[in-house]
């Protein structure tokens, strides 16, 4: 029996997020600059390497895999990878296979995702206004995403919407987005904007809408009850008593919950980031490529990396400046 992955702070690492591409068909203003330079394709792990990498993590006790990016569904043949992971769901080693997507390609892939064993998807959607959607994603079109959400629900996938809380942008849509989700049986989670990567001329502090204020705004329209429920992740939940709806808050800035962090992140080039908000990483591509026939060097590299997982991140917007700024983009590490 292989020993599970335990970090220096006694946290069991059971959750791996995998960025399968840094490319995307959108250019969200808080995530990318309009003119992004993407990695040369040869830098990326091949689909076979991604399979081997994920399978090794699963062999070491990872039970939950979230596929992300960039936009995971724009990677060519990505369904081959999803279908490959089905064997780990079937064996029981993997408890959940899921993805975070902008929804643009969901109409095409929803059924295949369900058939591969995916049961839940997170769709990122910051506004229900077509013009504002085009503005915030630069290249995205709302109707295409809404068709994707419909297709996902029709295929039997449970949808959660992740919305980045953006000052002066979607503040006025708090209630309308909440009602829209309630009418469709969709969960909703708000995220604070994080200082990840150069985003051109956009102003981070100007974008930041604290979720403390979002919660207060909810109290203006609903009876709000805090819930004890935790999913091992950074989200905390409230229930809106009027609708019975559960709303999540991911608050890396106004409140951080690193002490219960159970996750690590693999980039599309095979770097393992032990924390989204720190620069420390381990190269897993070399042990993977240098030893095609034996797992031991890769397993050793993973264990060595986990033994360096830091206690938490240093993001901070206090003192009216942005501290803990990361040079890499969210699309590189995988949001």
Residues that bind ligand SAM in the complex, under the rule CB under 6 A: 24, 30-31, 68-69, 71, 100-102, 124, 162, 164, 191, 193-194, 196, 330-331, 335
Which of ligand SF4, ligand SAM, none has residue 164 at its interface (CB below 5 to 8 Å by kind)? ligand SAM
Q: How far is the CB of 287 from ligand SF4 (least distance, A)?
A: 28
Pairing of strands 15-19, 263-266: parallel
Strands of 13-127, DSSP E: 15-19, 64-68, 96-101, 120-124
Which of ligand SAM, ligand SF4, none has residue 166 at its interface (CB below 5 to 8 Å by kind)? none
C-alpha torsion sign, points 276, 211, 205, 255: negative
Q: How far is the CB of 74 from ligand SAM (least distance, A)?
A: 9
For helices 47-59 and 78-91, angle between their N-to-C axes, nearest 10 degrees: 20
Which of ligand SAM, ligand SF4, none has residue 32 at its interface (CB below 5 to 8 Å by kind)? ligand SF4
Q: Which residues contact 286 (CB under 8 A, 6 or more apart)?
A: 301
Q: How far is the CB of 197 from ligand SAM (least distance, A)?
A: 7
DSSP H or E run through 226? strand 224-226
Nearest to 210 by CA among 180, 190, 239, 189: 190
CA 172, CA 217: separation in Å to the nearest integer? 10
Nearer CB in complex with ligand SAM: 56/68: 68
Tell me the window of 69-77, 105-113, 213-221, 288-296 that interacts with ligand SF4 (CB under 6 A).
Answer: 69-77
User: Which strands form 96-101's sheet, in the order they lie side by side?
Assistant: 224-226, 235-240, 245-250, 187-192, 158-165, 120-124, 96-101, 64-68, 15-19, 263-266, 271-273, 281-283
Is 28 a binder of ligand SF4 (CB under 6 A)? yes
Chosen residue from 15, 21, 63, 69 binding ligand SF4 by CB under 6 A: 69
For helices 78-91 and 106-116, angle between their N-to-C axes, nearest 10 degrees: 30
Using CA atoms, how far residue 119 sits from 47, 77, 99, 138, 302, in Å, is: 22, 20, 10, 29, 28
Chosen residue from 51, 71, 187, 271 binding ligand SF4 by CB under 6 A: 71
Q: Which residues contact 198 (CB under 8 A, 6 or more apart)?
A: 33, 327, 329
Q: How far is the CB of 290 from ligand SAM (least distance, A)?
A: 29
Which of ligand SAM, ligand SF4, none has residue 287 at its interface (CB below 5 to 8 Å by kind)? none
Q: How far is the CB of 163 from ligand SF4 (least distance, A)?
A: 11
C-alpha torsion sign, points 175, 180, 186, 192: negative
Is 161 a binder of ligand SF4 (CB under 6 A)? no
Is 24 a binder of ligand SF4 (CB under 6 A)? yes
Is 124 a binder of ligand SF4 (CB under 6 A)? yes
Nearer CB in complex with ligand SF4: 102/251: 102
Are residues 253 and 192 in contact, defined by beta-carbon separation less than 8 angstroms? yes
Nearer CB in complex with ligand SAM: 57/317: 317
Is 31 a binder of ligand SF4 (CB under 6 A)? yes
Q: How far is the CB of 89 from ligand SAM (least distance, A)?
A: 21
Nearer CB in complex with ligand SF4: 78/305: 78
Which value, to the nearest 10 degrees, does the dihedral of the CA atoms of residues 243, 246, 250, 256 take? 110
Chosen residue from 56, 331, 332, 333 binding ligand SF4 by CB under 6 A: 331
Nearer CB in complex with ligand SAM: 161/301: 161
CA 54, CA 65: separation in Å to the nearest integer? 8
Residues that bind ligand SF4 in the complex, under the rule CB under 6 A: 24, 26-28, 31-32, 69-71, 102, 124, 331
């Amino acid at each position: 029996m292989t020993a599970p992955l335990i970090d220096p702070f006694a946290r069991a690492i059971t959750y791996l997020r995998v960025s399968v591409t840094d490319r995307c068909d959108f250019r969200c203003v808080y995530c990318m600059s309009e003119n992004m330079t993407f990695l040369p394709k040869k830098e990326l792990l091949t689909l076979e390497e991604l399979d081997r990498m994920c399978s090794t993590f699963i062999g070491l006790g990872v039970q939950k895999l979230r596929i992300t990016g960039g936009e995971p569904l724009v990677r060519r043949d990505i369904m081959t990878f999803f279908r490959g992971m089905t064997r780990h769901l079937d064996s029981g080693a993997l408890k959940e296979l899921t993805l975070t997507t902008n929804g643009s390609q969901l109409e095409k892939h929803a059924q295949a995702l369900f058939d591969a064993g995916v049961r839940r998807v997170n769709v990122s959607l910051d506004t229900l206004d077509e013009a504002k959607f085009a503005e915030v994603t630069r290249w995205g079109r709302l109707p295409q995403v809404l068709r994707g959400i419909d297709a996902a629900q029709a295929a039997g996938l449970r949808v959660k919407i992740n919305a980045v809380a953006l000052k002066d942008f979607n503040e006025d849509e708090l209630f309308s987005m909440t009602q829209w989700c309630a009418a469709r049986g969709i969960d909703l989670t708000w995220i604070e904007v994080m200082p990840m990567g150069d985003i051109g001329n956009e102003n981070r502090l100007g974008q930041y809408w604290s979720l403390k204020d979002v919660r207060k705004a909810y109290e203006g329209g609903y009876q709000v009850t805090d819930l004890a429920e935790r999913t091992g992740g950074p989200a905390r939940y409230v229930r809106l008593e009027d609708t019975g709806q559960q709303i999540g808050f991911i608050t890396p800035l106004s409140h951080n919950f690193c002490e219960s962090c159970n996750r690590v992140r693999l980039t599309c080039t095979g770097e393992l980031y032990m924390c989204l908000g720190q620069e420390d990483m381990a190269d897993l591509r070399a042990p993977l490529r240098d030893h095609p026939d034996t797992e031991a060097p890769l397993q050793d590299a993973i264990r060595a990396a986990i033994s360096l997982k830091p206690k938490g991140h240093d993001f901070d917007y206090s003192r009216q400046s942005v501290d803990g700024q990361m040079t890499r983009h969210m699309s590189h590490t995988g949001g």
